[in-house]
Structure 1
Amino acid sequence: MADHSGQPQDRRTRSRPSSIHNLAQSGDLINLTKKLQDSPSLLNDRNPIMAQTPLHVSAANNKKEIVKFLFNWHGPENLEVEAKNMYGETPLHMAAKNGCTEVLKLLLNHNVDIEARANNGMTPLHLAVWYCLRAEDCSVVETLLQYHADVNAKDNEGMTPLGHLLQGPSNQKLQSLLQFHLDEQRKQKARLALEDSKGKLAELELELSKIVGLHELKLQLRTWAKGMLLDEKRRVLGLKIATRRPPHMAFLGNPGTGKTMVARILGKLLHMVGVLPTDNVTEVQRTDLVGEFVGHTGPKTRNKIKQAEGGILFVDEAYRLIPNQKADDKDYGVEALEEIMSVMDSGKVVVIFAGYAEPMKRVINSNEGFCRRVTRYFFFDDFDSRELAEIVHLKIHEQLEDSLLYGFKLHPTCTIEAISDLLKNNTTEKQRKELNGGLVGPMLVNARENLDLRLDLDCCDAENLVTITLEDLESGLRLIRS
């Protein structure tokens, strides 16, 4: 082939057009601009083998002007600032591993992910440490730490940047730098954890204020909450401690003593402090677990256990799983209990068995592993008249919009003392023992009906229309007695 002068031309002397990656590497801003104007789709183009974008290449070679230009480029495509190469490394990884401090700052000022993970789980700080060990220059590590890179981040092998440093050549300056920032970050996390813990404890106290009586149980809940929150702080400070076992429990007492309500509060508590991933409480009885035929009980029980995973399985009237019968007559309820026992060591669910104290002894004695797994027993005493009066006040103030009593209130004469005397004089001890808190709801509903009966249709006084009096409460009790 000849040129215009007729002289032969050597193919090897002709220059090939540079790729956008070569232009980014060399810092040729003029030609890179022309190339992008001609082919805007090259903005995030991947090079062969390494699958790196122009931003990767310019970041790895500390070409600050190219990086600036790419961030300010306006075209049909957006710059992929978190693009990953074949090793899962972002442009920030590339700047860190090559000691490109100026580009590193520029990228961080554009809010790129400082904790981005490569395929091996390493963050830019991990790679910066390795660069500093080779180059004996700590500036790239210092820059990342100024932008609050996590010194405690772990790669896929569980190694932190400081851990890698301790395994490599000695560098006292770098070690001191990382250790100082690790201590400072732990202190900051501990301060945040303390504030969070105070908020959680305040939330717990709000929930406990809804429980009448049960002082021993409240003390135990406070103890658990505080212990779990302290464990959280211990881990934040880098201390290695054992994981607490799920606290399986038995709630023993008569109906209406608040067992189900306490289980729901406990679900919130255990979720709040991180023991359980959800605050879900799945309430079941014998009919939800036991099948009618051979082979039905196992799948039925396992389905309920699966439904309760991550939260609490609340087995109400649990004594019905072990009927009062001869030892050689195996009831399907025993199979259900054995299925529940088999998952209690898994940590996937917390189980609460509830029921009358005396018949619950059958459940406790029926399985040799019960006492090993169920480590807390709480006795729910019957409510006295004053405690029932307190429940009346709590209930009237906690009504939801879909409740029949929503919007109603008690007359000022309906003090706790007055309601307590009313209950004592208008119910028997046997009634209070059999119904406990279950007496309050029907009494209030009946009281509202008595209010309707008592008022004239032409009544226009807003206060009177929604105010329940002692007379209404007494009438409500009378209807229950009859």
Structure 2
Amino acid sequence: MILEKKMDDLEHELSKIVGLEELKLQLRKLAKGLLMDEKRRDMGLNLGRRKAPHMTFLGNPGTGKTTVARVLGKLLHSVGVLSSNKVIEVQRSDLVSNHIGETALKTRKKIAEAMGGVLFVDEAYRLAKGESKDWGVEALEEIMSVLEDDNLVVIFAGYTEPMKRVFSANEGFCRRVTNFFQFDDFTCNDLAEMLLLKMNKQDDKSRLNGFKLHPSCTFDAVSQVIEKNSYEKLRNKMNGGLVDHMLNNARENLDSRQCAVK
């Protein structure tokens, strides 16, 4: 029953993620393996501990990499891999200093903050610029040095092509980081589904809280509007950000129309 409850919780979290069906299958597979290990230990079996599943997320901005990282934090905590569900998100500026010796200190501080949870390194390719005097590689090496720790999972994220610099900057990268996930760009249908989900699940802090879509804004209608009013290159560049842009524009246009009413 506990196993089923945890899988149900995972499915609930995955239901919030639009598209990425292949990725969801891999996450379910990972979850089932971890949960079965937990069940076997409860039965008294002395199992060896799995290595922390460090990962690389490849894809354009707005494709859900940060959202999936947060789901993973909850999953890995619920099955006992991590002692916390926290996800610490960092970029180059959080890790690298222009002063000698400070990059290692900044990076270690963030590692210590993330210990017990997930360290999510966004735009990780910026740590491997390929310049001889750049301190980014030092930050990368500091992170690589703690990948054997059982109570930390590191997720590196970034564009597919530039991330190849990270793979080559440290010869042990692909040996220690063995889970690679590709985040594809969203289709018009994906973006329409995302927009409808956002409008149906507004929280108190949302700028659109209290507003509803007109009944004419069906799934098909929204998808057609997106396809007609944006080109593929823009959609691939913005992905989920396009939905936020559309909703903000809708709110501003509504305000303008209502102000014009006498």
CA distance in 1, matches of 2:159, 2:18: 19
Is the aligned partner of 1:251 residue 2:54? no
* Amino acid of the structure 2 residue aligned with 1:352: I
8 Å Cα contact 2:94/2:107 also seen in 1: yes
Residue 63 of structure 2 contacts residue 185 of structure 2 at CA under 8 Å; is this kept in 1? yes
Structure 2 distance, partners of 1:207, 1:414, is 25
Which residue in 1 is equivalent to 2:187?
384
* 1:306-355 per-position Cα deviation (integer Å, ceiling 9, x unaligned): 00001100000000001143xxx142001000000000101121000000
Q: Say what the alpha-carbon RMSD is for the aligned residues.
A: 1.4
Which letter does structure 1 place at the counterpart of 2:136? G
2:229 matched to which residue of 1? 426
Rounded to whole Å, the distance in 2 between the matches of 1:334 and 1:442 is: 35
Segment of structure 1 superposing worse, 398-407 or 380-389: 398-407
The answer to whether the Cα contact below 8 Å between 2:18 and 2:194 also exists between their aligned partners in 1 is yes
* Amino acid aligned to 1:232: E
Partner of 2:201: 398
The one-letter code matched in structure 1 to 2:70 is R
- Within a 5 Å distance, the mapping from 1:104-123 to structure 2 comes to none
Question: Of 203, 207, 214, which residue of structure 1 is paired with 2:9?
Answer: 203
Contact 2:81 2:151 in 1 (8 A): no
* Equivalent residue number for residue 191 of structure 1: none
Tell me how far 1:226 sits from its aligned partner.
1.2
Question: Which of 230, 237, 242 does residue 48 from structure 2 map onto?
Answer: 242
Task: List aligned pairs for 1:104-253, cutoff 5 A.
Answer: 195-253=1-59
Deviation at 1:213, TM superposition (A): 1.2
Are 1:313 and 2:119 an aligned pair?
yes
Aligned residue runs from structure 1 range 421-460, under 5 A:
421-455=224-258
Q: Quick one: structure 1 residues 458 and 427, their matched pair in 2 at CA, closer, same or farther if it must change by over 3 Å?
A: closer
Spell out the pairing of 1:305-344 with structure 2 (5 A cutoff): 305-325=111-131, 329-344=132-147
Residue 347 in structure 1 maps to residue 153 in structure 2: no
Q: Distance in 2 between matches of 1:261 and 1:398?
A: 15
Give yes or no for contact 2:83–2:151 (8 Å, CA) kept in 1: no
Structure 1 residue 458 displacement after superposition:
8.1
Q: Is the 8 A contact 2:108 2:142 kept in 1?
A: yes
Matched position secondary structure for 1:409: coil
| Equivalent position SS for 1:197 | helix
Alpha-carbon shift at residue 456 of structure 1 (Å): 6.1
| Counterpart Cα distance in 2 of 1:273 and 1:348 | 13
**TM-score, normalised relative to structure 1:** 0.53
**Structure 2 counterpart of 1:384, which letter?**
T
Question: Is residue 2:173 matched to residue 1:375?
Answer: no
The gaps in structure 1 that reach 5 residues or longer are: 1-194, 460-482
- The residue type equivalent to 1:364 in the other structure is F
Structure 2 residue runs without a partner (length 5+): none
Report sequence identity in percent: 61
Amino acid aligned to 1:307: E
Q: 1:458 to 1:425 in 2, by over 3 A?
A: closer
- C-alpha distance in 1 between matches for 2:78 and 2:200: 24
- Report the AA paired with residue 411 of structure 1: H
Equivalent-residue separation in structure 2 for 1:455 and 1:320 (angstroms)? 46
C-alpha separation in 1, matches of 2:259 and 2:158: 46
SS at match of 2:205: coil
Cα distance in 2 for residues equivalent to 1:356 and 1:302: 25
Alpha-carbon deviations, 1:140-170, whole Å to 9, x = none?
xxxxxxxxxxxxxxxxxxxxxxxxxxxxxxx
Q: CA deviation at 1:443?
A: 1.2
Larger Cα Rg: Structure 1 or Structure 2? Answer: 1
Question: Given residue 265 of structure 1, which amino acid in structure 2 is its aligned partner?
Answer: V
Query: Which residue matches 1:173?
Result: none
